[in-house]
Structures are given as structure tokens and as C-alpha cells.
Structure 1
Amino acid sequence: MNTLYSIPKSVATFATVTDNENQINYQRIEQAIRYLEENFKRQPALEEVAEKIHVSSFHFQRMFTEWAGISPKRFLQFLTIDFLKEKLQESKNLVEAAEAAGLSSQSRVYDLFTTLEAVTPQEYKQRGAGIRIEYGFHATPFGTCLIGITERGICWLSFLTNDQDPRFELEQMKHHWNNSIFHEDHLVTQTFVEKIFSDKAPSQKLHLFVKGTNFQVKVWEALLRIPMGNLTTYQDIALSVNNPRALQAIGSAVGSNHIAYLIPCHRVIRKDGILGEYRWSSVKKKSIIGWEMAKSAGE
């Protein structure tokens, strides 16, 4: 049996009851992560956090472990400043070791599965004129997403924040690809979402189609070279694009990324170990980073 998301009919998308339940569970997980961080100094007990999100402690432990593969307590350890600083140095050492060994483009673990194409200068001026975009709203491990697909690749991926009107994200996509033709097709987009968030490496490369300035595209290409479970800083991204002083422009380009998760802007944090802001909420950034850390650690 199918059920509707709480989305207006103009952007209504069908999802299974299981998917709907997963979205509710993820919202609870976000609430739990926020509460744990706000009260980290006194380290609240599992029962207290579970009560805060209105579930039993048994259900909370099981729900969180099924999502992340680890306990809430272990998950939070991945987000401490000391751990994140250590991870930054470890990631930097991996890059330096790869360069010393003569490996191309750093350790491009994730980029092996992702390719990127930018619009031409003429297409950039035309702001997407003549491009057809199929779009759909779908369940993911990090809440509901909006994805846009063209015949040249994935051109949009964004997350909805809790209780957000999905029309807002749809308008963001339409504004970015201003003159394109939009058509909702949940069946087409579902296959891409399944590939993106599968536990297995995709059997075929995921092709991305982006619209940005030359500088933005260079920064997004640099982001693709950050393997899952690793982190980098704005300073290191600036160095990788041979523009070490352009930190403000780097931050702007990272924040302008319109293909979340696949172009992993969430893996860029401050050099002091502070995670910083994220276009789709700072709590979602924490969720994604902790989830990736757990997956890459094999826990």
C-alpha cells in the first residue's frame, strides 16, 4: 500500500509506508543529535534522550543503531572537536602520501564513481534554456530530498529540513535552472536515489551536470576528491585550486553547491575542528559526517 508524504498535491510524490516511517525516525535522530550536543557536558543518559524524542530507550537505541550502525554514544564521539582535528590531520597525511607516491588527483576514492560536466559558457548565459529536468521527492537516510535529472546527468540534489514546505526547494531548483523545462517523474528519479544512497558502490558512474562559474566548478571538482569518511578545510581547498588567499570565495563556492552529498561540501570544516554551517542545516551536516565516519570505520 502506498501513502503520500505531507507534500502539496502540486509536488506530491508517492512513498511506501516504510519510507514514511524512516523519515519520521530520521527526524527523531536529528532531534536526538541536537539534544546530545546541547547537553554534551553532562552527557545525558540514553533514557533521557529517548524521553526527549518521545520513544522508549529500547526503541531509540535500536532505531539509532539501525540508521548509523553504531550506538548514539559512539556516534557522538565522531563529532568531538579533538576527533575532528585528528581526522583533518589524518586526511591531510593521506593526500600527502598519495602525492608522494605519484597518484593522480589525490586519493580519489569517491571520484572513481562520480564524474562532473559543467554547462558551456553559452548555456550558462542562457540559464538552462532548452534543458529538460525530471524531478522527484524521495526518502533518504538524511530525510526527504529533491533530485533533478537531465539527459546529461544529475543536476540537483537538496535536502528538506524538518517541516519545510517542499515547494521552497522546488522553487530554489527552478530559480537555479531558470529557463529549463521541469517535469515531475518519480519513477525516473527513484532509480538514481537508490544508486546514490545504496550501501554498495554503484555499478555505473554517477554523472553530474552543474551550472556555475569557472571558479565554482574548480572548487566543486576539488570537493569530489575528498573520500568518504575524510575531511578537509577551506584552506586546503584553496591550496588545491591554487588560490590560497581566496578563502571567502572558497566558502561562497562551497555554499553554492547545488548537488548535496554527491559533491560533498559537508566534508569541509573549519581548521579548528568546528563543523560550521551547512546549507541544509548544521544538524544535518553533523548527521551526514557522523554517519559516513561510522560507515568508513566499518563499525
Structure 2
Amino acid sequence: MITSTEKINEYYHALVEKNPNYDGIFFAGIKTTGIFCHATCTARKPKIENCSFFDTAEEALLAGFRPCKICHPLSYPKEIPDEIKQLVLEVEKNPEKRWQECDFQKLGIHSATARRKFKEIYGMTFVQYARSRRMGIAFKELSSGAKVIDQQLSTGYDSASGFNDAFTKIMGNPPKKAEITILYASIIPTPLGRMFSLSDEHFLYLLEFMDRRGLEREIEQLRKKRNARILPGKTDINQQLSTQLEEYFTKRRTHFSIPLFLDGSPFQKRVWQALNSIPIGKTSTYQKIAQQLNNPNAVRAVGNANGANKIALLIPCHRVINTNGELGGYGGGIERKRYLLDLEKEKRND
């Protein structure tokens, strides 16, 4: 989400003026209607305080906005094929649905075709689109749910266990066990986009960029394994986290001091410990980490453990690059990885 006051004023002016030069440059989320539009939408213009602006449609979807039926922002800059229009409509009929191969077959559409054409037009696959819409609904429910819980608590309701979490409709209920874990969700803005955290009063369990492809699966696994309900709320942990992330991105912090709940195998935990030993401003490789663990043949296993890390930035998997010096992959996206490494080099040189 765009937070610069200068950009917000610029984009709002373009929205009011229906300036065609800005079509495709930003997407405007309208808080009062829950839709997002492009610059030349003919709908009645909202007040600036009721607008959120995004660089991409995926960000708008993850923020809980749905495509406007007047300006069809997902069709810009080209007319989209009929089968893609149909898929967008089908998602809106049941946005919480998880799509399977048989669902495409019922519509007479090949899943590979949908994947390719969505990628060409939107820069994301259909699965990403449907997932972003699902997760956007959950994130939006978390935001609105926080207000409901605050209101209930203020009138004497003192137990969070009576509330359904925002992910239940999407992922189902966690298994019924004797003990329920309550994890509190927080959305933290950063210069690289919003991050999603889960914590209790003692530990941080998860921290990821909200557009990470594997986030939905990570949340589901955590809910099932910990028999967890996820509710909106602030803990000492996520408040400390918010402060420390702000200090990190403004070059005032080089190390984090948040207690972490490491949910992994003994080998994975050893890899994550090795990641934490990489000095800020430096990088390592899977091969070096395998050697550090006295298991030089475990390069692939090290890579898998690196990918299984659920706590971005604090466990610095972004500091692992390819043996040939190339950046390699990163769950948060290669551009974020480049930004983080450059930021940390600047910190080291300060």
C-alpha cells in the first residue's frame, strides 16, 4: 500500500480528474464500498480519507478489495479473453473457494490455459489471484474483527475463546483437542510492503510478507499443529516487533531481540541457527552452511530448511545466495531480497 502523502495526493487528484495517463500506474481501493478501481473509473469519487492506493492489483486484493464492476480494473491495459472474465466472475461468486482441477473441467477451461493467460495479463497466475482474494477476505476480517473484540472486551467480555478466527471459513476449523492455543495476528507496514505476524504473549510464531505465495499454507499448518485460533490483537511481542522492524528499516537496528517459537525438526533448527550466525552485511551459500553443519552432502536439505523458515528477516534466509554469486530465490521476491541485502550493506558501512 502506498503511504507517501505526496503520492497519495497525486494519485487522488488523478482519480478525481479521471486522468488516463495513470491507468495501470496505481489501483485505488475505496474503503466505503470495498472495491478497487483504476484511474479513469466513472464511479462517484470518494473522499481522500476513504481511499487506499496500491501499485498492483494483487496488493489491492490482499487488502480485501474486490474488482470494480464499472471500470473492470483487471482488464487494463488490454481486453481480456472471455474465459478469463468467466473465471474472475466465478471467484466473486465464491471467493473463499479453493480451486481444484475438476473445477476448471466443469467450466470447460484447461487449468494450464488459465494459468498462462492470467500470468500474461495480470502478472500473476490464476491460483495467485484466487488465493489473494481469499487471503484478502481473511485479512479484512482480522481488521474489522479487532474492532468487534475491543468493543466486546470494553463491555465486560473477557475471553477471546468465544470468537471464531478469520481463517476458519477458508481453512476450516483446527482439530478439536483439549487445549486451544490463541495466536494474535498483526499487520505491520514496512517499506517493502505489509507483513503479517502471529504471536502470543511469549513468542513470535510467524512473520511473512502478506503476498508470499506459501503464506496460506503456513498459516494452515500452524493452526492444525498448534490447535490454534487466530484472532486480531496486540501482544507485547508484536508491539516490540513493530518497533524493531521500524528501527531496522531506518538503519537504527542491526539485530533483533524478539523471542521466537521455532516450529521445525532438529535439523531445520540447526540450519536456522546457522542463518542467524551470518553477520549483517554478509552472505553465505547452502553449500557453506552444509559444511558448517559438518554435513557437506546436505546442500538440498539445507535449501529445504531455508525455504521452511516462517520468520522472515529475523531469521535472515535472505542472506543465502547461490554459489556462483547470483542472488537465487527468495519467498518474499527477488527485488525484496536485493533491497534487504543492499540495506544491510549500508548498515555495516555506517
What's the TM-score bracket when you normalise by the shorter of the two chains?
A: 0.5 to 0.7
| Poorly superposed stretches of 4+, deviation over 4 Å | 5-9
Amino acid corresponding to residue 176 of structure 1 in structure 2: L
After superposition, the Cα gap between the structure-2 partners of 1:248 and 1:171, relative to the gap in structure 1 and judged at 3 Å, is: closer
CA contact (8 A) 1:147 1:158 kept: yes
SS of aligned partner of 1:208: coil
SS of aligned partner of 1:207: coil
- Name which of structure 1's ranges 201-210 and 190-199 shifts more when overlaid on structure 2: 201-210
Amino acid corresponding to residue 142 of structure 1 in structure 2: L
**Structure 2 partner of 1:295:** 347
Q: Distance in 2 between matches of 1:158 and 1:282?
A: 15
CA radius of gyration, larger in: 2
Structure 1 residue aligned with 2:244, among 195, 206, 210?
195
User: How far does residue 8 in structure 1 lie from its aligned partner after superposition?
Assistant: 9.7
Query: RMSD of the TM alignment (CA)?
Result: 3.5
**Structure 2 partner of 1:182:** 230
After superposition, the Cα gap between the structure-2 partners of 1:6 and 1:265, relative to the gap in structure 1 and judged at 3 Å, is: farther
Q: Distance in 2 between matches of 1:131 and 1:242?
A: 37
- List aligned pairs for 1:216-295, cutoff 5 A: 216-295=268-347
Between the aligned residues of both structures, percent identity stands at 29
**Structure 1 partner of 2:192:** 142
Question: Does residue 1:172 correspond to 2:223, yes or no?
Answer: no
Count of equivalent residues? 180
Q: Distance in 2 between matches of 1:254 and 1:197?
A: 24
CA contact (8 A) 1:229 1:293 kept: yes
SS of aligned partner of 2:189: strand
Q: Distance in 1 between matches of 2:206 and 2:348?
A: 25
CA contact (8 A) 2:198 2:204 kept: yes
**Structure 1 partner of 2:68:** none
Q: Distance in 1 between matches of 2:201 and 2:326?
A: 39
After superposition, the Cα gap between the structure-2 partners of 1:170 and 1:136, relative to the gap in structure 1 and judged at 3 Å, is: farther
Q: Distance in 1 between matches of 2:341 and 2:255?
A: 24
User: How far does residue 137 in structure 1 lie from its aligned partner after superposition?
Assistant: 1.0
Amino acid corresponding to residue 242 of structure 1 in structure 2: N
Q: Which runs of 5+ in 1 are unaligned?
A: 10-16, 28-125
Question: Does residue 1:208 correspond to 2:260, yes or no?
Answer: yes
After superposition, the Cα gap between the structure-2 partners of 1:204 and 1:264, relative to the gap in structure 1 and judged at 3 Å, is: closer
Q: Distance in 2 between matches of 1:220 and 1:157?
A: 14
Structure with greater strand share of residues:
1
Q: Distance in 1 between matches of 2:244 and 2:195?
A: 14
Provide TM-score, normalisation by structure 1.
0.52
Question: Does residue 1:160 correspond to 2:222, yes or no?
Answer: no
User: How far does residue 291 in structure 1 lie from its aligned partner after superposition?
Assistant: 1.6
After superposition, the Cα gap between the structure-2 partners of 1:170 and 1:134, relative to the gap in structure 1 and judged at 3 Å, is: farther
User: How far does residue 173 in structure 1 lie from its aligned partner after superposition?
Assistant: 1.9
Amino acid corresponding to residue 285 of structure 1 in structure 2: K
User: How far does residue 190 in structure 1 lie from its aligned partner after superposition?
Assistant: 3.9
Task: Note the alpha carbon deviations across 1:105-161, whole angstroms, 9 max, x for none.
Answer: xxxxxxxxxxxxxxxxxxxxx99x633211111101321100111233111000133
SS of aligned partner of 2:297: coil
Q: Distance in 1 between matches of 2:301 and 2:242?
A: 31
CA contact (8 A) 2:197 2:208 kept: yes
CA contact (8 A) 2:244 2:256 kept: no
CA contact (8 A) 1:134 1:149 kept: yes
Q: Distance in 1 between matches of 2:188 and 2:30?
A: 11
User: How far does residue 196 in structure 1 lie from its aligned partner after superposition?
Assistant: 3.0
Amino acid corresponding to residue 218 of structure 2 in structure 1: Q
Amino acid corresponding to residue 192 of structure 1 in structure 2: L
Q: Higher RCO, 1 or 2 (CA under 8 Å, sep at least 6)?
A: 1
